[in-house]
Structure 1
Amino acid sequence: MTKLQELKRHLRSGKVYRREDLAQWSSSVDRHLQHLLAEGYLTKLSTGVYHRPKQTAFGKAPAEDNALVEAFLKDDRYLVTSPNAYNSLGVGATQLYNKTVVYNHKRHGNFTLGGREFEFRKKPAFPKTLTKEFLLVDLVNNLDHLAEDREQVLARVKERALQGNRSALNRAAKEYGMVRTRKFFNGLAADTHAG
């Protein structure tokens, strides 16, 4: 068995690899990478990040967002979302955005991975998974960047906030909200105590 065939045995279809992952199985990693890329066995997603595409009935399947992001960041602490997620809240957000946002602790900026655009935002804190409370807080945090009518959306967020799990929402606002966002949600708590 050649060294190249030996390397191929380690590469699972659908997985994303960094160059240093491959170096553990190959002493001539750059030469082997050139071969694997030339024959289409691997595809290059960004500098130092490669994908072993999974073959489907429709051709080669693209790498999954999570696999891409994790290999790019070399970290499993991140949260992938999109402004489209706000549409599920029922607060009048209906625009569709062609944007994938990645909250993480390491990188900031726009990066193209596997032919797709990702906006990486470095944040001190974010939840492991998307929750309704986090999305409401995140929506108010990002209101200036959305195409929706701000006043209408805020009025609906207020309605939703008053109907939902108040303690979870207050916790989310405290942990993930910008100053203005925290003031907005604290104001709602004060309104209900006054009323």
Structure 2
Amino acid sequence: MNRVVELKQQLKPGKVYRREDLSKYSNAVDRHLAQLVTEGVLDKIAQGMYYYPKQTVFGPVPPEDEVLVRSFLKDDRFLLTSPNSYNALHLGTTQLYNKRVVYNHKRHGEVDLNGKKFFFHKTPYFPKKVTPEFLLVDLVNHLDTLAEDREMVLKNAITKAKAMDLHKLRLAVGRYGHTKTKKLFEPILEQMKSKEYHWK
């Protein structure tokens, strides 16, 4: 059997492959991969990364962001988010950002994957999934990067914080807050704690 055909038979639609994943199926992996890219079988999405498109009646489906990041990191431990997520807090943020942020344990820096920019932040602490408390802390951490009226957004964020669960917010601030963010939230948390104690 032709080695390129043999390699192609290992591919599954919708999956992203790294060069090293496919080298065991070929005795000339770089030449064979280049041939498959030329034939339109594979899409080269980054250095050493290839995508076997899933075909539908509407044409090929691009790889999901989570699939790209998982393959790039070779790790399931990451949190993929975006400044657009802040809009769910209803603090007056309305801008739409073409920015994807990846909290992870391995990489730091800007990476282009399949024509999309991903901003990798290496950090020891991030939640498994986005929560309102994490979003609020993350927003204050990156307030200086927002395009909106920052004073208005911060004022609304403080109001929002006072209506949140004290325990969950305290944990989020302690685990994920930058030094400046922790200082900002400190008097708010103390005030919330005092009020909670008063009502007991």
Which band: TM-score by shorter chain? over 0.9
Corresponding position of 1:120: 120
Corresponding position of 2:198: none
Q: What RMSD, in angstroms, separates the aligned Cα atoms of the two structures?
A: 1.3
Q: Residue type of the partner of 1:59?
A: G
Corresponding position of 1:162: 162
Corresponding position of 2:151: 151
- Distance in 1 separating the partners of 2:97 and 2:45: 23
> What is the TM-score normalised by the length of structure 2?
0.92
Contact 2:7 2:25 survives alignment (8 Å): yes
- Distance in 2 separating the partners of 1:96 and 1:27: 46
Contact 2:166 2:193 survives alignment (8 Å): no
SS in structure 1 at match of 2:110: strand
Deviates more, 1:97-106 or 1:134-143: 97-106
In structure 1, runs of 5+ residues without a counterpart are none
- Say whether residues 1:79 and 2:54 are aligned partners: no
- Distance in 2 separating the partners of 1:30 and 1:52: 16
- Distance in 1 separating the partners of 2:178 and 2:99: 21
Contact 1:23 1:29 survives alignment (8 Å): yes
Deviates more, 1:48-57 or 1:2-11: 2-11
- CA deviation after TM superposition for structure 1 residue 120, in Å: 1.3
- CA deviation after TM superposition for structure 1 residue 193, in Å: 4.3
Question: In the superposition, relative to structure 1, how do residues 28 and 158 fare at CA in structure 2: closer, same or farther (>3 Å)?
Answer: same
- CA deviation after TM superposition for structure 1 residue 194, in Å: 5.0
- Say whether residues 1:6 and 2:40 are aligned partners: no
Within 5 Å, which residues of 2 pair with 1:42-121?
Answer: 42-121=42-121
Deviates more, 1:145-154 or 1:82-91: 145-154
Aligned length: 195
Corresponding position of 1:23: 23
> What is the TM-score normalised by the length of structure 1?
0.94
Contact 1:170 1:186 survives alignment (8 Å): no
- Distance in 2 separating the partners of 1:80 and 1:115: 17
SS in structure 2 at match of 1:186: helix
SS in structure 1 at match of 2:25: coil
In structure 2, runs of 5+ residues without a counterpart are 196-200
